[in-house]
Amino acid sequence: MNGAEQSLDDQRSFGLADLPLREALRGRSPYGAPQLSAAVRLNVNENSYPLPDVVVDAVAKSVTGVLRELNRYPDRDAIGLREDLAAYLGHGLDASGVWAANGSNEVQQQLLQAFGGPERTALGFTPAYSMHPLLAAGTATGWVGARRDAGFGLSAHDAVAQVREHQPAVVFLCSPNNPTGTALPLEVVEAVAEAAPGIVVVDEAYAEFARAGTPSALTLLPRYPRLVVTRTMSKAFAFAGGRVGYLAAHPAVVDAIQLVRLPYHLSALTQAAARAALAHAPALLATVEAVKGQRDRIVGELRSAGIVTADSDANFVLFAVPGGGDQAALWRRLLDRGVLVRDVGLPGWLRVTAGTPEETTAFLDAVLAETAETAEAAEAAETAGADRVNGSANTTSPGGVS
Ligand SMILES: Cc1ncc(COP(=O)(O)O)c(C=O)c1O
Going from N- to C-terminal start, the domains of the chain cover 53-281, 288-389
More confident residue, 27 or 381: 27
Q: Supply the pLDDT for residue 4.
A: 63
pLDDT of 203 over the 90 cut: yes
Cα–Cα distance for residue pair 310/320, rounded to 1 Å: 9
Q: Of the residues 44, 129, 318, which should be mutated to test ligand 1's pocket, given the most ligand atoms within 8 Å of the CB?
A: 129
H or E stretch at 222: none
91 C-alpha to ligand 1 centroid (Å): 22
177 C-alpha to ligand 1 centroid (Å): 11
68 C-alpha to ligand 1 centroid (Å): 32
Cα–Cα distance for residue pair 270/101, rounded to 1 Å: 10
More confident residue, 298 or 9: 298
Cα–Cα distance for residue pair 321/348, rounded to 1 Å: 5
Q: How many CB atoms lie within 10 A of CB 341?
A: 26
Nearest residue (CA) to ligand 1, atom 9:
103
pLDDT of 64 over the 60 cut: yes
- Average pLDDT score over the chain: 92
Q: Which residues contact 183 (CB under 8 A, 6 or more apart)?
A: 175, 176, 177, 210, 211, 214, 313
Cα–Cα distance for residue pair 122/112, rounded to 1 Å: 8
> How confident is residue 255, by pLDDT bands cut at 50, 70 and 90?
very high
* Fold type of domain 53-281: Aspartate Aminotransferase; domain 2 (3.40.640)
Torsion of CA 249, 253, 259, 262, to 10 degrees: -10
Nearest residue (CA) to ligand 1, atom 7:
104
Q: Which residues contact 155 (CB under 8 A, 6 or more apart)?
A: 149, 188
pLDDT of 320 over the 80 cut: yes
Give, rounded to a whole angstrom, the gap between the first and last alpha carbons of the chain. Answer: 54
145-167 residue pLDDT tens: 999 998 899 999 999 999 999 99
Cα–Cα distance for residue pair 284/281, rounded to 1 Å: 5
Q: Of the residues 35, 43, 104, 134, which should be mutated to test ligand 1's pocket, given the most ligand atoms within 8 Å of the CB?
A: 104
> How confident is residue 291, by pLDDT bands cut at 50, 70 and 90?
very high
Q: Of the residues 47, 126, 203, 312, which should be mutated to test ligand 1's pocket, given the most ligand atoms within 8 Å of the CB?
A: 203
> How confident is residue 401, by pLDDT bands cut at 50, 70 and 90?
very low
Q: How many CB atoms lie within 10 A of CB 358?
A: 11
Query: What per-residue string of b and e applies to 197-231 under the rule 16 or more CB within 10 Å gives b?
Result: ebbbbbbbbbbbbbeeebebbbebbeebebbbbbb
Q: Supply the pLDDT for residue 398.
A: 26
Nearest residue (CA) to ligand 1, atom 3:
205
231 C-alpha to ligand 1 centroid (Å): 8
- Dihedral of alpha carbons 71, 97, 183, 139, sign: positive
Q: Supply the pLDDT for residue 31.
A: 79
> How confident is residue 387, by pLDDT bands cut at 50, 70 and 90?
low
> Which CATH number is correct for 288-389, 3.40.50.300, 3.90.1150.10, 1.10.20.10, 2.40.30.60?
3.90.1150.10
- Give the residue-averaged pLDDT of 71-95: 98
Q: Which of 171, 170, 185 is nearest to 215 (CA)?
A: 185
Q: Is residue 70 within 8 Å of residue 210, measured between CB atoms?
A: no
Q: Which residues line ligand 1 (CB under 6 A)?
A: 45, 103-105, 129, 174, 178, 203, 205, 232, 234, 240, 245
